[in-house]
Amino acid sequence: MQSAADFDQPLSERALSKLKWRCRRGLLENDLFIARFFERHESRMTVGQAGAMETLMDLSDNDLLDLLLRRKEPEPAWAGAEVVELLQLMRTDGAARQ
Residue 48 lies in a domain: yes
Query: What pLDDT does residue 1 have?
Result: 47
Residue 4 lies in a domain: no
Q: Domain tally for the chain?
A: 1
Residue 7 lies in a domain: no
Q: Angle CA(35)–CA(50)–CA(77) in degrees, nearest 5?
A: 110
Whole-number Å distance between alpha carbons of 13 and 42: 10
Structure confidence by residue, pLDDT tens digits, 13-51 = 999 999 999 999 989 999 999 999 999 999 999 999 999
Query: Does residue 93 carry a pLDDT above 80?
Result: no
Whether the Cβ atoms of residue 19 and residue 53 lie closer than 8 Å to each other: yes
Residue 35 lies in a domain: yes
State the CATH number of the domain containing residue 41. Answer: 1.10.150.250
Q: Which distant-in-sequence residues (6+ apart) come within 8 Å of 79 by Cβ?
A: 55, 87
Whole-number Å distance between alpha carbons of 66 and 97: 18
Q: Name the percent of the chain lying above pLDDT 70.
A: 90
Residue 91 lies in a domain: yes
Whole-number Å distance between alpha carbons of 61 and 74: 14
Residue 21 lies in a domain: yes
Residue 1 lies in a domain: no
Query: What pLDDT does residue 98 have?
Result: 44
pLDDT band with cut points at 50, 70 and 90 for residue 85: very high
